[in-house]
Structure 1
Amino acid sequence: MGNVRYYDVLIIGAGPIGIACALECKKANLSYVVLEKGTLVNSLYNYPLDMTFFSTSEKLEIDDIPFMSVNPKPKRIEALEYYRRVATGNNLHIRLFEKVLSVEKNEGVFTILSEKTTYKATHLIVATGFYDIPKLLNVSGENLPKVSHYYKEAHFYTMQKVIVVGASNSAVDAALEIWRKGGEVTMVVRGKGIGDRVKYWVKPDIENRIAEGSIKAYFESELEEIKENEVTISTQKGKVTLPNNYVIALTGYRPNFEFLEKLGVKLSKDGKYYPTYNEQTMETNLPGLYLAGVICGGMDTHLWFIENSVIHAKQIVNHIVSKNI
């Protein structure tokens, strides 16, 4: 055990909120380390290439460090640059591409085994977000290579027949971008219309494209079966079979509840899987274990986002410091 590293705080996840927690730990003179299984702000990196944030740049700032963007609402590439500069400019202790394999707590100390080494920490912060596990459709053919639960850019789908499942911001953006790059787009939407939380400057665009017939949409419908060259949709008027090249199922994502349960965090039994934590301190039912960011919302992943959960970092570190006074 000679290579075990000891810290006051170990943070899992190097997204914007994990970075904010690291900054607070540094300011409080706490020894800390951040472990991230992917690249820096891994979820943002995997967003669509040309994505525009709903929030303005100042609301995405960490610790009053200015976020300068060309337009009021920044794009993905600007956010990547901003959070990278925050992390590197403050010399934060972040270890990338180092997945956490297991966590155990004994006698008030967490032992964290990663892919590369073993750590011990008095406090643990989980800021892992929710973008890693897609909500599956659970239909036949979902495992075919032509099916994806993530969307990167439109060019790949030029001159292809594409089904986009969902009516959230990501689904609407994908449908519009693919259509504008020459793809034949059909949307399959469980609800009666485009989602209420779709960006207000985008919603009229998609609704007009549907109204004019440029993009086909089946509302109150669900994808029933996916085959190599076609899909079957269950609609209000019966089943419809369409020729198809690709399916992009953008039906949302969920936190890693299994990981939380292994840690000992209690989850609600109502299907929402809300984790148990103190809203003032962000400490869970397991002393010394804290949650930060969107992971606090259970299945309601829209409750927390960057601009309203950055405060979690200060709440957590203030509580940790108060315990040591």
Structure 2
Amino acid sequence: MKHIDVIIVGGGPIGIACGLEAKKKGLDYCIIEKGTITNSLYNYPINMQFFSSSEKLEIDNIPFISNEAKPKRNEALEYYRRIVTSNDLNINLFEKVSSVSKKQDTFYVKTDKEEYTALYIIIATGFYDLPNTIDVPGENLPKVSHYYKDPHFFAKQKLAVIGASNSAVDAALECYRKGAEVTMLVRGPEIGRRVKYWVKPDIENRIEEGNIKAFYNVTIKEILPNKINIETLDGEFSIENDYVLALTGYKPNFDFLKKIGIKLSDDQKLYPQYNEDTMETNIENLYLAGVICGGMDTHVWFIENSRIHAKTIFKSITKK
């Protein structure tokens, strides 16, 4: 069993920021990441462009230079990878944390590769790994995916995109332009209001001209191998279909937080309990960082406004 003073769970941008702070403070630390460096960003769509400008995605005042004002996925991957390698951060990749428990003043951490003890724990696991399911018959069919990577796969196919947020709109537009027959199935009465301002007119125009079909106020009844049964305000009917992208958002791993003992709010938001001045949870010496702090409100915290969490946490730790 290895002892490390500070264990950071999650190797995304905020986990990396915490690693940089730990190193600057001269602390014994380790980042444990279940996938590759910035695993969530790696699994974003290949052509994805960030809403934020590059300087807002910078950590530790390390310049992020991109070809356009708003960088793309491949540029972000390069930026964060270079930070990890050039700063020789202590990071264990492809190692999944299975449990965190505490006895007296010591944390016990188990992974699929090792067991550790630690004095401090920082949870920076984000929310992208668990999709919000729609819980209908057929959702587990091979034709259904909650993640979108590359539009080429869907060329000449009848594709249903469930959702109306940025990810759904980007997928619909890209796949349409690669030759897919795209139908958007939207739960509400319109395309999401938080869709990127330079993209929203594009999707609305493609729908208006009929190149992308859209149904609003939709309830998905059942997904079948060659069709989808839906209900709208006009009644129930079927749509011929080859593939489904159910891009209905993602959520933090609440079960993991609850097993550790972190308290969550009683409402549907499931906000984790923490001190905003220190980021310390109801468990002494266990901290939260990044978007996981927002519970189900995954649009509240982003890289740009949660970068400060790293400095806040290590200010608290060094005081102790």
**TM tier, shorter chain?**
over 0.9
For 1:281 and 1:224, locate their aligned partners in 2 and report how far apart those are by CA, in whole Å.
Answer: 46
State the partner residue of 1:170. Answer: 167
1:218 counterpart = 2:184: no
Gaps of 5+ in 2: none
1:196 Cα offset (Å)? 0.9
Q: 1:192 pairs with 165, 179, 189, which one?
A: 189
Code of the residue aligned with 2:47 in structure 1: it is D
1:116 Cα offset (Å)? 1.2
State the partner residue of 1:300. Answer: 297
Stretches (4+) displaced over 3 A: none
State the partner residue of 2:225. Answer: 228
Q: Provide the alpha-carbon RMSD of the alignment.
A: 0.6
Percent of pairs with identical residues = 63
Code of the residue aligned with 2:77 in structure 1: it is L
State the partner residue of 1:18. Answer: 15
Give the TM-score normalised by structure 2: 0.99
State the partner residue of 2:279. Answer: 282
| 1:96-175 superposed matches below 5 A | 96-175=93-172
For 1:117 and 1:182, locate their aligned partners in 2 and report how far apart those are by CA, in whole Å.
Answer: 47
- The SS at the match of 1:70 is coil
Q: 1:49 pairs with 23, 46, 50, which one?
A: 46
For 2:59 and 2:293, locate their aligned partners in 1 and report how far apart those are by CA, in whole Å.
Answer: 19
For 1:102 and 1:267, locate their aligned partners in 2 and report how far apart those are by CA, in whole Å.
Answer: 18
Q: 1:182 pairs with 179, 202, 218, which one?
A: 179
Give the TM-score normalised by structure 1: 0.98
State the partner residue of 2:81. Answer: 84
1:313 Cα offset (Å)? 0.4
State the partner residue of 2:244. Answer: 247
For 1:262 and 1:45, locate their aligned partners in 2 and report how far apart those are by CA, in whole Å.
Answer: 27
Code of the residue aligned with 1:313 in structure 2: it is A
State the partner residue of 2:256. Answer: 259
- The SS at the match of 1:103 is strand
- The SS at the match of 1:290 is strand
- The SS at the match of 1:151 is coil
1:102 Cα offset (Å)? 1.3
For 1:5 and 1:139, locate their aligned partners in 2 and report how far apart those are by CA, in whole Å.
Answer: 45
State the partner residue of 2:58. Answer: 61
Code of the residue aligned with 2:193 in structure 1: it is D
